[in-house]
Amino acid sequence: MLAVAGAPAAAALSAQGAALSATSPRKGGNPEAAKLTSPTPDSPEGRAAGRRTYQRLCARCHGAEGKGDGGGAGAGGQPADFTDDTWLFGASAGEVFTVIRDGTSADMDSYAERISDTEMWNLAHYIRSLGPSAARP
Ligand code: HEC
């Protein structure tokens, strides 16, 4: 896990240190998060950029091909397989974006302090493209 030295304190924080909001990830999905849309449209270029960020930050847990087999989760969690049809926190781009933004567990951390919103949307578009859920809204 990357160390986030001096992460700012805020009033309402999740266990992962992200600010809690109506769009924070929830098991089973969050309709409010699903309404979020990317300011930068899903595109081949965006997915390619997402893939580069993915290999740098995510592959050690989720695996080079996104099968959840990277082995890097140290807190006992099972990294999600992005090539199957199961999205515990919802399959929409908005829901996937908020998982990356806010985190869900000690292993699945918040990335809001590390990468830009654009990079997080690129990641959401890229990992959704790995499995059959890509066809979903
Ligand atoms: C230290 C290991 C680790 C790293 C690094 C990591 N993840 Fe995860 N990720 C997990 C685990 C474990 C889960 C399951 C979390 C849970 O069940 O609460 C998860 C879940 C997810 C989910 C939810 C999938 C679903 O079924 O709804 C998404 C999306 C996700 N990760 C994306 C990413 C992205 C993008 C990155 C890189 C920026 C990343 N993860 C980096 C361990 C990791």
Q: How far is the CA of 10 from the centre of ligand 1 (A)?
A: 23
Give domain limits for the chain: 31-135
pLDDT value of residue 37: 96
pLDDT of residue 132: 78
Options 1.10.760.10, 1.25.40.10, 3.30.70.330, 1.10.150.120; CATH for 31-135 is: 1.10.760.10
Assess contact for 111 and 124: CB atoms under 8 A: no
**What is the best residue among 1, 36, 62, 96 to mutate for testing ligand 1's pocket, by most ligand atoms within 8 Å of CB?**
62
Q: List residues near ligand 1 (CB under 6 A).
A: 1, 57-58, 60-62, 72-73, 77-80, 86-89, 96, 99-100, 104-105, 107-108, 111, 123, 127
pLDDT one digit per residue (tens) for the chain, 137 residues:
454 544 444 446 666 666 679 999 999 999 999 999 999 999 999 999 999 999 999 999 999 999 999 999 999 899 999 999 899 999 999 999 999 999 999 999 999 999 999 999 999 999 999 987 555 55
**Whole-angstrom distance, CA of residue 86 vs CA of residue 98:** 17
Query: What does the alpha-carbon distance between residue 62 and residue 69 come to, in Å, rounded to a whole number?
Result: 6
- What is the token pair recorded at 78? 């099972």
Which amino acid type is present at position 56? Answer: R
Q: Tell me the CA–centroid distance for residue 136 and ligand 1, in Å.
A: 19
Residues 6+ apart with CB under 8 A from 117: 39, 101
Task: Give the alpha-carbon dihedral of 117, 67, 87, 77, to 10 degrees.
Answer: -90
